[in-house]
Each structure stands twice: as structure tokens, then as C-alpha cells.
Amino acid sequence: MTHSTPPMLYRRLGRSGLQLSLFSLGSWVTFHNQVDAHGVREMMAAARDAGVNFFDNAEVYANGQSEALMGEALAQLRWNRLDYVVSSKFFWGLDRGSADQPRINGRDTLNRKYLLQAVDGSLKRMKLDCIDLIYCHRADPHTPVDETVWAMHNLIEQGKALYWGTSEWTADDIRAAWDVAERHHLHKPVMEQPQYHLFHRKRVEHEYARLYEDTGLGLTTWSPLASGLLTGKYRQGVPAGSRGAMEGVSFLREGLLDARKNTAVGELEAVAKELGCSVAQLVLAWVAHNPRVSSVILGASKLAQLHENLGALAVLPNITAEVLSRMDTVTAGLAQ
């Protein structure tokens, strides 16, 4: 069911000169919640050995602990700083205050005060002088887009970040930010981090279509396995120890147990079997096959999962037009 892993492939981040590994390692849910400090270091080392050069994080992941664990691992691994790319994302805030005394300027915002202070906090936790990629984790309708664009531009000018982008923004909001940057000759948003998998594809394939050519938008996509749904592990319910069993992400459970989608996953097993791979490897190769995707962010709670997922590199050449058509047929009517 597994392949020996071929050499890593690299793609440019949109129209920028930066090259990212086609598969990257993310930390959402896993770091601190499922993987301890030793496991984080071991997993990052294994990913780097396989050619991964991009490691994705966010301020809010495990309330800052994910960044701290990644920073500790980087300090111990002592890689050449040119050999890896690190990201973080900002919007939700960490200490959000209480119901009686909410932290007004430190939660659910992209205002200038929050952004500049939040990036300083991430730099400290990650033990870095610069974060390569910084993202606005969600759009903020209450802050003028000009203010946010100027703040991101200033962070790059100060040397605290190299590129900035967005995550889960609409095409219209991305275009508005890009236009502000263009008008004032500021650093433009280079990348977007959207959810993208067989059941969630319309934004990447249709809504953003004009942006790829017009602005050079690059994509670092998340949840390629639909939080595990596309591995087939939820076809018989929620296994103990799985992501769906975790209390902190119970909001995922209904989607993971969707009967029609699980039936479709079962039908994908026949396609995977013909290609000599697992369903997970098949659907990861499907995401990577899209040339608009700069990097596919993988999540893994065990080293064996990481190795299996990276095996999708060997499946990629087998994603033919016929295979794509069969996968489209199986998932017809289920994609958002």
C-alpha cells in the first residue's frame, strides 16, 4: 500500500521567487495537543530529511504552545536558516480577556496595534529574528483594509517578516488588499491559505481563478485529508485517539461522520488499490496535482502517518485525466 518516497518537488510561492516544498508540515491540532516536544523535534527532522522546507504555524494554535514547541525544535535542530521557511498567522489573539473585561484590541482583529505586537510575541516564542510568511488568519470587516495592508507592509520593512498573505479570505477581500498595496507601492499579499480537498474545492478552483493571473497569488493549502475523513478511518465511526475524538475539535465530528462522504471515500479505495497506494496518498496527490497549489500542508500525529503521507509524491505521476475523471464522478454533488 505504500511507495518508496521519491525526491521532494518544489514550487514557487505564486509569482514570488521563494520556493516551497510541494508537501509541508503543519502544526494545527497536533503540536502540544497530540505531539510532545520530543515528538515535534523528531517529526520536523524526519520531514526535513524528506526534503520538506516549509513548516506552518499560527499564533492561536494550542494558545501559543505550538509556536513555542516549534521554536524549541528549531533551536535544537540548528538548521541553516536559508534551508527552511516558517509561517505564522494572526487574527484571533491569545489572551482574549474575560466576558466582563474582554481584550478589545487583542482579539478577532487585524488592527495595527494588535498585528505589530502579535508578531513580536510569535518571534519570541519561535526564537526567530524573522518569520518568513505571515498571514492574516481571517478577514476583519471592522478594520479598514488600508490599515491592515500598511501594518503588514511595515512588518516586512522592519525585517520581522519576508512575505505576507491571507487565510480564508474571499477573492474580493484579497483583491481590495492587493489594490491598496498597488496604489501606495506597498508590499502586496503574495499568498492565500485556503482549505482545499476533494470535498471543498470551489473557492480554489473557481472563486480565485482570476487572481492567479492578475495578482500572481500562490496557495499553501490546509486540510488536504478533510481532517482525516479522506483517509477512510471514520467509515465505521470515530476511532479512539483520532482527531475526531478530541474534545477541542468536536465541531469537526458531524462532518467526519457524514454518511454520503464516507461512502464516497469507500469508492475511492478501489481507485487507490488500482494505483497501489492508500486512499490518503491518492487524495493528497490529487491536491498536489493542481499547479496553482504551491504547497500542501500535512498534519500528522505519528511519524508513520507523516511517512505515509509523503508517499503521495510517488503517486503524483499517476494522477491522469482518467483518474481525475473517476474521482470527480465519485465525489459529484458532495463538493463545496
Q: 211 pLDDT exceeds 70?
A: yes
Q: 206 pLDDT exceeds 80?
A: yes
The larger pLDDT score, comparing residue 257 to residue 290, is at: 290
> Which region among 174-183, 203-212, 258-267 has the lowest average model confidence (pLDDT)?
258-267
- Return the DSSP state at 207: I
Which residues, 6+ apart, have CB-to-CB distance to 332 below 8 Å? none
CB atoms within 10 A of CB 270: 11
What kind and span of H or E run contains 182? helix 171-184
Query: Does residue 44 contact residue 25 with C-beta atoms inside 8 Å?
Result: yes
Predicted confidence at residue 106, as pLDDT, reads 92
Distances (CA, A) of 95 to 27, 88, 104, 121: 20, 17, 11, 12
What's the average model confidence in pLDDT over 50-61? 98
61 is catalytic: yes
Mean pLDDT of the chain: 93
Q: 232 pLDDT exceeds 90?
A: no
What's the average model confidence in pLDDT over 143-153? 98
Predicted confidence at residue 1, as pLDDT, reads 45
Q: Which of 10, 61, 196, 208 is catalytic?
A: 61
Distance, in Å, from the CA atom of 295 to the CA atom of 26, rounded to the nearest integer, reads 11
In order of their start, the domains of the chain are 10-331 (3.20.20.100)
